Every structure is written in structure tokens, then in C-alpha cells.
Structure 1
Amino acid sequence: MTMPENRTTWRDARYDMPVSRQLERYNELAAKDASARARVELVARGAYDPARHGADDRPPLTVAEHIELLALAESIARTVRHPANVHHALLAGVTWAEIASIVDSDEPTVRRNYQQWADDQHELNQRYPNLGMTADEHAAATARAAQSATDA
């Protein structure tokens, strides 16, 4: 199967527009999809009434729209599920157990992911000193990731 060249990816969606616009567009496409699917279902059950449900045609999403919907969903998820949210929660006093429960994971995995994010942020700072985590911030994050439940 040959893939068309102009496929939207989550990266395309992320860089094309701010997350607020991504959410608006996602909601537009999801509503259009739900409306088309509802009409098909009503027609299939014999319950469709143009006077009650509207006589307008509700075409299903195109292949391009389905791809865009998927790309937007992935971009939104990656944006709002950003590892910095864990960092800020920890700084505010949220425990590792609470974070693991909230993200439906276990503490070792959450700590490991946090440590990897902190390492990446420190590496970023080494390349670009005005970005990422300084050595001191990285050391504090590493200590936070290694902190035992009894130390909290």
C-alpha cells in the first residue's frame, strides 16, 4: 500500500497552531463525526425523522479529516500530558504515590520518566544555557526522583 505524501502528523498539528486552536478544531471535527454517525444509526434503526433531527445531509469525515482528528488528538495529549506538569506538582507538594495514581502508573515508572525528563532538561541547558535545568536544578530533581516515601 502506498501512503499519500501529504499526511498530517501530530507534529504538524502541534506546530501549526496553539493548543487552544487545536482543541477548537478537534471539537469541530469530533462533533461533525458524531453527528454523521448519529444520523447513520438513526436511519439504520428506522428512527430518523427529518422534522425532528433535521433534513441537512451530514456526510462522514473524509480520510483527511480522520487523519487530522487523530493528529490533533495526539498533539493535544502530548501537550497537556507534558512531563513538566509532574515537576510542578512535585514542587507544590504532590507525592509520588498521588502522581502514580493520577497517571494510572506505578511509582518506579513515574520516577524513571521524571528522571529522564530532568536529564533531558539538563542536557538542553548544557547546549543552551538559557533553557532547561541548571546543574543545581538537575541535582534537586535527581534527589526528588530518588526520594523514598519515608523521606517525603
Structure 2
Amino acid sequence: MAIDVTIGFVIHMLFAAIWTGAVIFMTYGVIPVARAGNIDTDPFADITSRLLTLSRLSALIMFLTGGHLAAQLYTVETLLEPPRGHLVLTMLALWLIMAGLVEVGTKKISAGLRERKVRTPAEKSRPFFLGATVVALALLLVAGLLIGLPYA
């Protein structure tokens, strides 16, 4: 395997771990605290802003590294063949869904924080972060399946 592919895998997986971990922490560590009213608006806004920045950066880096890996390891024909190609395309779809859910969830929080509220925006964002967490876990599952499959 070429060194650029190895480096691509490492960077891709590093940002996948950071992104999924941050989303899961937001869902199970921050949102419940905010729903209980046990965090002030300023720290909640700061955490939300940092998550959004991390999410956008991770999505961009994963898009670039994933595109490079796909270009090096697949052709259009092999991307349409099961099981590897379908898993890669599934991963791309899940990546887009997760990015969208995080965007909407953070926007729900930001809108409520402008009104100096904590509980309501946390409650309104919760379904989006729960969805993003499910998608994050699905992405990790698909990645594990891809790792376990031999290349043709």
C-alpha cells in the first residue's frame, strides 16, 4: 500500500474518532446538563460553537481524505459493486447525514441562546443530536466492516 494511502487512512480515522466522540459527548454529556438547566448560556454557547467548528473541520478533512482514498482504491465500477463499494457509498451518505444533523442541532441551540435560554434550545436540539449519535455509531460500524473486508 502506498504511503499516501496509509497517511490518508490515519488522518481519516483520526478525524472520524474525534468527530464521532465529540458528537456523542455533546449528546450524552452536554445536552442532558443543559436540559436540566445546570449550565449557563455562555459556556453552552462556547461548547456549541466549538463543536460546530470541529464538525465542519472534520467533515472537510474526512471528505478530502475519503475522496483521496476512494480515488486510489476504487473505480466507478468497483464503487457500485457489493460489498466494499456499497459500504463506501453508505459511509458517504451517513457522513452527509451526520454533518446535516449536527448543523441543524447547533442552529437550534444558537437560536435559543440568543434569547438567553438554555433548557429550551437543549430540548429542541436533542433529537438532532440523538440522530447524529446513531449515525456516528453507524459510521463506525461501517468503517469496521470495511476494515474487515479484503480488497479484491
Does the TM-score normalized on the shorter chain lie above 0.5? no
Q: TM-score, normalised by structure 2?
A: 0.31
Higher helix share: 2
Output the TM-score relative to the length of structure 1.
0.31
Larger radius of gyration: 1
